[in-house]
Structure 1
Amino acid sequence: MKYKVLLIDDEPSALEGMQLWINWEELGFELCGTCGNGREGLQLMKQLQPDLVITDVNMPLMNGLEMIEAWQQQNTGRPKFVILSGYSEFEYARTAISYGISHYLLKPVFPEEAAEELREIHQELEQEESRRMIHEIASEEEAAALIRGLLYGKKGDQALQNQLDALPGFREAGAWNLCLLQTVPELYAELRGRTASLLAAYPAIVMIDLEAGLLGIVYGMPADSREVSRAEEALSVLLQEYSGSMLYIAAGAPVTSLLCIEDSYCSAKETLLHFFYAPDAAGVLTYREIEGNAFSYSYDHIRLMDALLDSVNLLDLDGYRQALEEAEQSFRAQQVAPEVVKKFVIHLMYRIFELVPGAENSGGEQGPAGLEIPEIQQAMYSLSSLLGRLLSCGERAIHLLVREQNHKSHGIVQEINRYIGEHYHESLSIQKLAEVFFLHPVYLGQLLIKKNGMTFNEQLHQLRIQAAAHLLRGSKLKLSEIAERVGYANYGQFLKRFEKEMHMGPSEYRQGKF
């Protein structure tokens, strides 16, 4: 099924780029319209009824977040929203989360990165469409449907309360809570089946399939808070059975009315995020353990990004590892929000991917030599495992770049030496040389030392002094004219370098005292 997409951005080039460089049809979408500000966006949403809206944050007249707030105050359900922002705008993510938005794209938008996000959204839309087509005919299905609506923001009323109270065991519960179980996709079906068997005999417990690899369990709790609920007993057994597997269990904050279960759901989702900084092992975490530990949305992304990319450009593997360790320490110290870290890692991987020769022609997320961009948006990654993937990506890229540079270095040094020999009398620098031959200046300098046995400056001065000596022997030019002709704008520097190279001044040399 294809879903309609509305693009909103005040930059025409950004709109054109998204239209041209993203294969919407292949991803299961069709563009239904574009506009340049939030006011027009509200009108087009009413008119076109899109399934997905991708909007910039900063726009004239009405920005993206103001538009979303205005829409949600008057409407429910679709469309889904994706916000576009730069690194400096990540504070907007805090507001976006309060609107229920979990999808972001960083500017500039990479087509492959956008495709990964759109595939995930398409899957969510497909799941929602399937859920809408399911007809609940049994009490458990009916309960799941009613509670799912509450989880996704449907407002409860007395009529809904009466429907819920009519379900077996629901009226007797003194309080309610929600647990989220997250595991890897290949284990989900087995885990869900085992959970269902453990909970089958108990009333007032409802299982709800959420996004990929995530299971929600809504359960009633005893009126006496000293008693352990049957659901918690069953989850304790489940945790023991899967202690060696990737399994996270996050319990939300209890509520006194099932109509308020969305609050438990939100607190459970917040709790689940804190596994990001936990060890890679099964475990259970409750909201009361993390309450008040807010994530940060501000960090020195430019410094971290530059340090890692510079290490790759310089082919400095030790430097890359050290920069990655410093990044991990920074993320942990500031408790940066997991979704922010994931965006940082994905963006950095694409930047590294661009540096590898032949990557632009690979036509996908795997380069010609096995350099891969993993799908990490919904995967169960802790910070350690996520940065482990980034380490592997950087190590592989540096290995490929070193191999490529070694292959090219022999022939290119001959070209560089020839160029220096032809242009030594000009205002020549290592930076200028690097621009001519499309090499990093530091790498170029190291390459010349390795191949020529001397630095670029030593080589340049040697050529200039040799040329000056030839002119001193075969012409009557003034010393200042010779200095200028061989490339020295400063006569004093010429004298100093000549004496260093020839062990005498230019006047003595001209007089034949050598």
Structure 2
Amino acid sequence: MYKVLLVDDEIFVRKGLISLMDWSSMQYEICGEAENGQQAIAMIEQLKPDLVIVDIRMPILDGLGLIKHVKEEGSHRPLFIIVSGYHDFAYAQQALRYNVSDYILKPVDEDELRATLKKLASTLDKNRITTFTGEKPLAESIIETLLQTEHSDEAVEQIATVLNIPAASPYRYVLIEVQDLQVDGPSYLPKLQTLIAERFNNQFPALPINVRGYSQYGLLIPQSLASIIQAKNEQEAYMELRSMLEEGLNASVSLYVGVQVNHLKESTLSYTAAVESLNYKFTIGGSGIIFADDIQGQALYYFDVDEELHSKLIDQIEENRCEAYEETVALIFEQFQHKRFAPSAVANTITRSLIGIINSIRKLDGNEEELELLSELLDWQQKYRNLQQLQHIYMQFVQEAAAYIARKRGEQGKGSIEKIKKYIDTHYTENINLKSIAAKFFMNSVYLGQLFRKTYGLYFNEYLLSLRVEEAKRLLRQTDMRMYEVADKVGFQNADYFVTQFEKLEKMTPTDYRNKMLGKN
């Protein structure tokens, strides 16, 4: 798409031009509107339009003044079309002096403007592919333009000539992702260029590599790759190509292979397919290669992991059960691959678990920023490009977080356990249990049980039962309450259960105890 800036002091003229035709069908898009030349100067520098359609008469700075300024002082120099309500030869002469592409009278005729835009598209095509450093074309810029913009047959032939490759030939666009865990590391482009030239035995000396950022590089590869590499088939050829790149770059490499196209002008289709294949990056097995042909029709999973699995992981981390959370993390990452999680779904799952862990830390008055690996996990999408890398750093973070939570709970537990015991001593006649008390004091129930036993030498339930039985004994001695009334008074919901537990502890039934105290035995 070529970007167009409209400059006219009449808003209705600008809106009329926008609605006059289907701009996108002619490979143009309106990128902005300005109401005078002064405003347009700033917008040209900011938006970098390919074409400016400007009224000749405007307040502050007119169309000719704008063109003069851009031609003489501007760092970006688009093409210009002048529209005017005045058929003035003097204006036309001045416009021609500034190499204005066309001069159109108002009201603008759709057919006339369409013809002008069609003619300018050819000029813009040529401008894009004839950027030179001295006499040498910038192949990378040219291939980028080829892949991202539709071109006329004439423009594609020019590109093929400049790159010294055949236009009418099958190609695949291949995205090479170097997985080096570096955001701002060194460029691999020089090494890649050398490796590709050597591997192809200079049969395709002009194969251009375009840089996509984050250690991603794109390459248009001819269908004859298998015969050049002397492989049995195309899949084997790409496996060998990947092995060669990993050895030469001394880093892990993944390949995303676009669909085959039969002409250079169709290369955008292969490029788009390769880029879309990136969404399947967490489904790659050991091969490290995704063919766009193989994933067609395979739906990606865009949801989170099961709530039960998420909750289990947080509990295991809080309880610092190493083997358990390692198993759960492994299960989560298996789901990423087997359910074909989209990158966004993986990101949501990781973020959700981070939030859960941070909440656990804050409940213990901890500070998550004390975790060394937190920042690493927050920015993981810029560095960790495959499932193995991500699982490794995620597991390290989980281990660090679990140890930190255990340490904080130990610090907090020393003071908290006394408060909890006092609470039990005061409320033992109520319907309380370990889980409800743990929730009240923002603690994990398993940990609370362990801490209570470690501090007081007996289990929580044993201590609670002893308190209730002691109070029951007092009531049996001092009152004539019935057994079910005594049971209810000391916190038992069931009288039969009260009798069983009393006998278990005292080696006699409540009735026997009362009779004994009354001297009836």
| TM-score greater than 0.5 by the shorter chain | yes
1:353 corresponds to which of 326, 349, 358: 358
Aligned equivalents of 1:236 and 1:481: distance in 2? 79
Shift of 1:280: 8.2
1:175 corresponds to which of 170, 177, 182: 170
Matches within 5 A, 1:351-390: 351-357=356-362, 367-374=369-376, 375-390=379-394
Q: Which residue of 2 aligns with 1:9?
A: none
1:453 corresponds to which of 430, 451, 457: 457
Which digits, 9 at most, give the CA deviation of each residue in 1:104-134, with x for residues without a partner? xxxxxxxxxxxxxxxxxxxxxxxxxxxx999
Shift of 1:477: 4.0
Give the residue type in structure 2 aligned to 1:347.
R
TM-score normalised by the chain length of structure 2: 0.62
Aligned length: 386
Give the residue type in structure 1 aligned to 2:208.
V
Aligned equivalents of 2:243 and 2:320: distance in 1? 50
Q: Which residue of 1 aligns with 2:191?
A: 194
Aligned equivalents of 1:460 and 1:359: distance in 2? 25
CA contact (8 A) 2:183 2:383 kept: no
Comparing 233-242 with 411-420, greater Cα deviation is found at 233-242
Matches within 5 A, 1:326-345: 326-345=331-350
Q: Which residue of 2 aligns with 1:28?
A: none
Q: Which residue of 1 aligns with 2:321?
A: 316
2:212 corresponds to which of 206, 210, 235: 210
Aligned equivalents of 1:179 and 1:169: distance in 2? 19
Structure 1, unaligned stretches of length 5 or more?
1-45, 48-70, 80-131
Give the residue type in structure 2 aligned to 1:257.
H
Which digits, 9 at most, give the CA deviation of each residue in 1:160-218, with x for residues without a partner? 33442442524566233322222234796442122345668755532222132111223
1:137 corresponds to which of 132, 139, 144: 132
Shift of 1:257: 1.9
Aligned equivalents of 2:218 and 2:447: distance in 1? 53
Secondary structure of residue in 2 paired with 1:180: strand
Q: Which residue of 2 aligns with 1:257?
A: 263
Q: Which residue of 1 aligns with 2:434?
A: 430
Relative to 1, partners in 2 of residues 1:384 and 1:436: Cα closer, same or farther, differing over 3 Å?
same
1:158 corresponds to which of 153, 163, 166: 153
Relative to 1, partners in 2 of residues 1:496 and 1:216: Cα closer, same or farther, differing over 3 Å?
same
Shift of 1:399: 0.6
Aligned equivalents of 2:482 and 2:384: distance in 1? 75
Matches within 5 A, 1:17-96: none
Aligned equivalents of 1:325 and 1:225: distance in 2? 37
Structure 2, unaligned stretches of length 5 or more?
1-13, 16-22, 33-126, 231-236
Relative to 1, partners in 2 of residues 1:351 and 1:426: Cα closer, same or farther, differing over 3 Å?
closer
Relative to 1, partners in 2 of residues 1:157 and 1:361: Cα closer, same or farther, differing over 3 Å?
farther
Larger-Rg structure: 2
Q: Which residue of 2 aligns with 1:268?
A: 274
CA contact (8 A) 1:424 1:487 kept: yes
TM-score normalised by the chain length of structure 1: 0.63
Give the residue type in structure 1 aligned to 2:369.
G
Secondary structure of residue in 2 paired with 1:216: strand
Cα RMSD (Å): 4.3
Q: Which residue of 2 aligns with 1:444?
A: 448
Aligned equivalents of 1:72 and 1:461: distance in 2? 79
Shift of 1:405: 1.7
Shift of 1:359: 9.7
Aligned equivalents of 2:467 and 2:28: distance in 1? 76
Relative to 1, partners in 2 of residues 1:218 and 1:393: Cα closer, same or farther, differing over 3 Å?
same
Shift of 1:323: 0.9
Shift of 1:401: 1.2
Q: Which residue of 1 aligns with 2:421?
A: 417
CA contact (8 A) 1:178 1:264 kept: yes
Secondary structure of residue in 2 paired with 1:247: strand
Give the residue type in structure 2 aligned to 1:379.
K
Which digits, 9 at most, give the CA deviation of each residue in 1:46-72, with x for residues without a partner? 99xxxxxxxxxxxxxxxxxxxxxxx99
